[in-house]
Structure 1
Amino acid sequence: MARRIGTDDPWTTTGAQLVAWAGTQTWARETRRGRRTTFRAFWLYGIEAGLTTTNAALSLPRVKPAPPMPHPTPDTVFQVAMRRADERERLMLRLAADCGMRRGEIAVAHTDDVYEDMLGWTLIVHGKGGKRRPVPLTSGFAAVLRSQPHGYLFPGDDDGHLSPRWVGKLITRLLDGDWTIHSLRHRFAARAHRVNRDLAVVQDLLGHASPATTRIYVATDDSDRRRTIEAIAS
């Protein structure tokens, strides 16, 4: 970044220079938000390390998040993928579509993560930042997972399991169009929100730290908004 601005040294880059350079970039809104967060953290590191006394990134204006744009895989695309898939791939598809798991979470899923308590069967999902979250399972899907050989559900050469990249590649090539394994997570979120309108429940199931992130995955239904207005007016 400093070289592109022409200063060569980020610690001598001023806030005005950073703002002027960032303003010429053709980044999407979410990319711009991410870069702002990264720059602020980088200069904070510089201050803590004694490399500079000012955070030039504080000059960057706040970027509002984009309106929610859910991107759930259509049922028809999912069903076609299920028919194309082999047994291992069908299990990956179900973990993404029925449990809302990310590709990295699917890659490290283990038979020891399935357990039963007084309420039923649950899968412990190993999420980002080492966080773990429980996702309830139907008895039928729990039986499928418990029938797998003990160990990682998808053995491979990445510390004993498949790499997240390979999991994503396997699933994406089964899905027609521009749908990806992450759009299956959107599908899960949309279906979960349709059944339970409590956003906090969907947030917990997805493992999001903020409800604002969950809102990106679910869209409110026009009929719900209309019923709300009609109920208020009655």
Structure 2
Amino acid sequence: MSKKNMMPEPWNDWVDEWSADMRLRSLSENTINLRRYQIGAFARHTGKHPGEVTASDIRKWLGRKGLGNAAKRGDRCMFSMFYGWAQRNGKRLDNPVEGMPTIKREQRKKRAAPEQAVLIGRDSSDPRTRLIIMLAADAGLRRAEIAQVRGDDLIDDELGWSLIVHGKGAKDRIVPLSDELAREIRRHGPGWLFPGEKGCDHICGDTVYRLVKDATGYPPHSLRRRFATAAYITSNGNVMAIKELLGHESLATTQGYITVSGRMLRTVIEQARGYEARGTGDG
């Protein structure tokens, strides 16, 4: 491990114990590694013992230049988890995050990938990239979920082929697949769909990101949003079903993934006018 990524000595024991606590609560290794990365960056910056960190130190870190809203929310969540754990376990008498204002989620919707970008990705000369794009655009998988798909995760029931998706927080879900996508996965047989290199079990989420971005010009999550929007239109607005397919905890999160186009709004207006023209029959 490079010095840049090393955890400062005073923080090692605390962070290792916190990581063990997160594993007991069945948090995924991806989540644990993310939290360790976040707290490590702060630890190297502050130069203080974790027991000496103040609310002012945390405020300054959250307010640092160039930090986006989503990253700020993530860091605040990490601090709340870490110091909440430290307080419960008697390592600190206080939680410096208590009383700190919450950070609102950005209201601006992120863009879904356009159909043209998806079509370009499907025409990639790399079979691996094509399959990754299908899993994101046609099944709505996250990049980390795509990275760890196995042929063994494919199941056949009386309704057709489905995939066991290993989601965030170690929560699995079942996602039905098109015949085309199921056929491509079956062709690979059991084991990792996208095996890694140098002893790694499978490729990492960053590799998925790079392959999709290079092929389409858009990140994998924009293809996931494209899936949500397409599912919303074709299901006549069945948001609850889309929530289950995406593996969201909150319906509000799912609603934020759906892009309402100008064409969709115009269709609604025209339908409303047609209803008014027919009248209600009340005379």
Q: Report the TM-score when normalising by structure 2.
A: 0.70
- Answer yes or no: is the 8 Å Cα contact 2:62–2:75 preserved in 1: no
Equivalent position of 1:80 in the other structure: 120
Higher relative contact order (CA 8 A, sep 6+): 1
Tell whether 2:212 aligns with 1:171.
yes
- The one of 158, 163, 169 equivalent to 1:118 is 158
Equivalent position of 2:239 in the other structure: 199
- Answer yes or no: is the 8 Å Cα contact 2:62–2:72 preserved in 1: no
1:103-142 aligned within 5 A:
103-142=143-182
Equivalent position of 1:156 in the other structure: 196
CA distance 1:205–1:68, change in 2 (3 Å): farther
- Answer yes or no: is the 8 Å Cα contact 1:101–1:185 preserved in 2: yes
Tell whether 2:135 aligns with 1:95.
yes
**Alignment partners' CA distance in 2, 1:24 and 1:156:** 37
**Alignment partners' CA distance in 2, 1:24 and 1:160:** 38
Equivalent position of 1:35 in the other structure: 75
Tell whether 2:108 aligns with 1:65.
no
* Structure 1 unaligned blocks of 5 or more: none
- Answer yes or no: is the 8 Å Cα contact 1:36–1:60 preserved in 2: no
Identity of aligned residues (%): 32
Worse overlay, 41-50 or 18-27: 18-27
Residues 142-168 of structure 1: per-residue CA shift (max 9 Å, x gap): 223222233222222354322332222
CA distance 1:95–1:117, change in 2 (3 Å): same
Worse overlay, 121-130 or 22-31: 22-31
Equivalent position of 2:254 in the other structure: 214
Equivalent position of 2:38 in the other structure: none
**Alignment partners' CA distance in 1, 2:195 and 2:43:** 43
* Structure 2 unaligned blocks of 5 or more: 1-41
Cα deviation, residue 23, structure 1: 7.2
Q: What is the DSSP-based 3-state SS (H/G/I as helix, E as strand, rest coil) of the residue aligned with 1:84?
A: coil
Q: Report the TM-score when normalising by structure 1.
A: 0.84
CA distance 1:193–1:12, change in 2 (3 Å): same
Worse overlay, 132-141 or 24-33: 24-33
Cα deviation, residue 228, structure 1: 9.3
CA distance 1:31–1:144, change in 2 (3 Å): closer
- The one of 185, 189, 199 equivalent to 2:228 is 189
Equivalent pairs, count: 230
CA distance 1:222–1:10, change in 2 (3 Å): farther
**Alignment partners' CA distance in 2, 1:194 and 1:205:** 15
**Alignment partners' CA distance in 2, 1:192 and 1:120:** 18
**Alignment partners' CA distance in 2, 1:84 and 1:172:** 12
Tell whether 2:87 aligns with 1:44.
no
RMSD of aligned residue pairs (Cα, Å): 2.9
